[in-house]
Amino acid sequence: MIRLMIASVALLLGLTGAGAAQTLPSPPIPMLKATVTVTSDIVTIGDLVENAGPVANVPIFRAPDLGTTGAVATERILDAIRPHQLIGIDTHGLAEVVVTRASRPITVREISGRIAHALAGQYGFGNARDILINFDGDVRTLQVEPNAAGELRVLALSYDPRSTRFDVTFDMPDSMALQRQPARYTGTAIETVDAIAVDRPIERGEVLQASDLTVVRRPKAEGSVVLTDGKAAVGLAARHALRPDQPLAATDLMKPEIVARNDTVTIVYQVPGITLTLRGQAKDAGALGDTISVVNTESKRVMQAVVTGPSRVMVGPITTQLVDNSPRELSE
């Protein structure tokens, strides 16, 4: 009887143990990641391997520079992990893992604006938006830690108004990268004004429309030469071919020509009570109100006439008398 009870208990314990073994979860398989983004200057096993367990926080590589991406060969990763007893890693057949270092980018435009802001109100400068910054050499986007807050802080600033050159050094209180190595920039800073330019090639004589014009920034010293009001250019014609983004001066424009050289024109002679019209030919091109030379096609005489409209000019009695009394060669 006792033996039967012992056998029953043993059988029961055996069945219970087997049931418990079947319900225990299998440990998750460590798996290699295809792409990784890290925020620290080191790469840990857990950054590269999912389900790394107790060794997840073990550092094994240096991270790429802020804002850059690099690739690490799978074999190299496995070699670095092997001493830490993490085995059975599923590599998914990956040849490499792509690692990106997260960052907060500070663009060249932001850097330029910070320099202009630092110069504004000093050295005779006015508003920061009117200061044009030109850097020495190629300036790239500045990368700082993603959690670095605030703006660039000026550590040192110098400016020479005669040469227009600046030298500025920045850091950022929350950026260890800029604390270790502040960012220095040199170049020129010039105060500018809005200037009017065309945004497409314009042929000589072409009349400007508002849609043809754009605004460019030019040194303030040129403000007395270039046009700064687009309304003053609308309706005028190009005195010569105009190039896009080239600031316009008053001498680049003229009133539109409404009579072309060699055009057939109607010559109007008018005195109180008498109006005569003659056919003539323009020897010059002219805009409204211009005085040009015209030839009377019947008498072949040359006279000075005022352009009063398209293909229409007017002469007065004094002009006609002077022409009639002029030497013969002027009439040919």
Please check whether residue 8 lies inside any domain of the structure.
no
Please check whether residue 25 lies inside any domain of the structure.
no
Q: What pLDDT shows up at residue 259? A: 87
Shared-domain flag, residues 222 and 151: yes
Side-chain half-sphere CA neighbours of 127 within 13 A = 6
Per the structure, the complete domain to which residue 113 belongs is given by: 103-254
Cα separation, 286 vs 308, whole angstroms? 10
Q: What is the pTM of this model?
A: 0.62
Shared-domain flag, residues 44 and 126: no
Cα separation, 45 vs 162, whole angstroms? 57
Give yes or no for a contact between 166 and 119, defined as CB atoms under 8 angstroms apart.
yes
Cα separation, 2 vs 201, whole angstroms? 113
The type of residue at 26 is S
Which of the four pLDDT bands, split at 50, 70 and 90, describes residue 26?
confident
Angle 121-126-129 (CA atoms, 0-180°, nearest 5)? 110
Shared-domain flag, residues 118 and 247: yes
The CATH number linked to 282 is 2.30.30.760
User: Does 143 have pLDDT greater than 60?
Assistant: yes
The type of residue at 210 is A
Shared-domain flag, residues 231 and 321: no
Q: State mean pLDDT over 242-254.
A: 89
Shared-domain flag, residues 275 and 326: yes
Please check whether residue 12 lies inside any domain of the structure.
no
Please check whether residue 15 lies inside any domain of the structure.
no
The domain tally of the chain equals: 3
Q: What is the DSSP string of 34-78?
A: SEEEESSSEEEHHHHEET-GGGTT-EEEEPPPTT-EEEEEHHHHH
Shared-domain flag, residues 262 and 297: yes
Give yes or no for a contact between 192 and 130, defined as CB atoms under 8 angstroms apart.
yes
Please check whether residue 199 lies inside any domain of the structure.
yes
Shared-domain flag, residues 279 and 146: no
DSSP state of 222: G
Reference 235, options 208, 196, 206, 262; nearest CA is 208
- Least confident among 226-240, 268-282, 317-331: 317-331
From the DSSP assignment, how many helices (H) and strands (E) are in the chain?
6, 23
Domain boundary among 198, 230, 254: 254
Please check whether residue 4 lies inside any domain of the structure.
no
Q: Residue 183 contacts by C-beta under 8 Å, 6 or more apart in sequence?
A: 111, 142, 152, 169, 170, 171
Q: What pLDDT shows up at residue 330? A: 34
Shared-domain flag, residues 190 and 295: no
Shared-domain flag, residues 109 and 239: yes
Domain boundary among 84, 102, 120: 102
Q: What pLDDT shows up at residue 223? A: 62
Shared-domain flag, residues 239 and 278: no
Q: State mean pLDDT over 200-208.
A: 90
The pLDDT tens digits of the residues spanning 258-314 come to 888 888 989 898 888 888 888 999 898 888 888 999 999 888 899 899 988 888 999
The CATH number linked to 125 is 3.90.1210.10
Q: What pLDDT shows up at residue 275? A: 85
DSSP state of 85: T
Angle 159-164-170 (CA atoms, 0-180°, nearest 5)? 40
- Least confident among 66-75, 169-178, 289-298: 289-298
- pLDDT: which is higher, 212 or 20: 212
Q: What pLDDT shows up at residue 224? A: 64
Shared-domain flag, residues 51 and 167: no
Tell me the percentage of the chain whose pLDDT exceeds 90.
56
- Least confident among 111-120, 217-226, 282-291, 308-317: 217-226
| Six-digit token string for 58 | 């073990």
Domain boundary among 254, 280, 312: 254
Shared-domain flag, residues 272 and 221: no
The CATH number linked to 53 is 2.60.480
